Amino acid sequence: QKEVEQDPGPLSVPEGAIVSLNCTYSNSAFQYFMWYRQYSRKGPELLMYTYSSGNKEDGRFTAQVDKSSKYISLFIRDSQPSDSATYLCASRGGNQFYFGTGTSLTVIP
């Protein structure tokens, strides 16, 4: 079992839709959870990170962690064509950082 698992998609939505991206993780000791956005042929870019359970909001993006179910979510409101990218979830375990495989998102104008 991988430490962090993510549905690779691809996911295609119309502009303005609410997008839900999800990951699960295996180790209940994980405390920090990150979401990165990666455009084609670019390095990942940090969107936000959260600690333990709860929600964190930044503009159109909301990250949510449910430690009871080991579930990580990223919600994108009012999605834009510029949001088209691969979204990576990640978690920190000790000195290691574990990334999901990424979900490819396309927002259609």
Residues 61 and 36: their CA atoms lie apart, in Å, by: 12
CB of 5 to other proteins, least distance (A): 10
User: Helix or strand or coil: residue 8?
Assistant: coil
Strand partners, 57: 62
Which of 34, 25, 16 has its CA nearest to residue 76?
16
Residues 15 and 5: their CA atoms lie apart, in Å, by: 27
96 near other proteins (CB under 8 A): yes
When the beta carbons of 75 and 101 are compared against other proteins, the nearer one is 101
44 near other proteins (CB under 8 A): yes
- Evaluate whether 22 touches 35 at the Cβ level (below 8 Å): no
Q: Which of 4, 21, 76, 107 binds other proteins (CB under 8 A)?
A: 4
When the beta carbons of 3 and 60 are compared against other proteins, the nearer one is 3
Which of 74, 73, 94 has its CA nearest to residue 29?
94
Q: How many residues bind other proteins (CB under 8 A)?
A: 24
Interface positions, 57-86, toward other proteins (CB under 8 A):
none
Which residues contact other proteins by CB under 8 A?
4, 6, 8, 32, 34, 36, 41-46, 49, 88, 90, 92, 94-97, 99-102
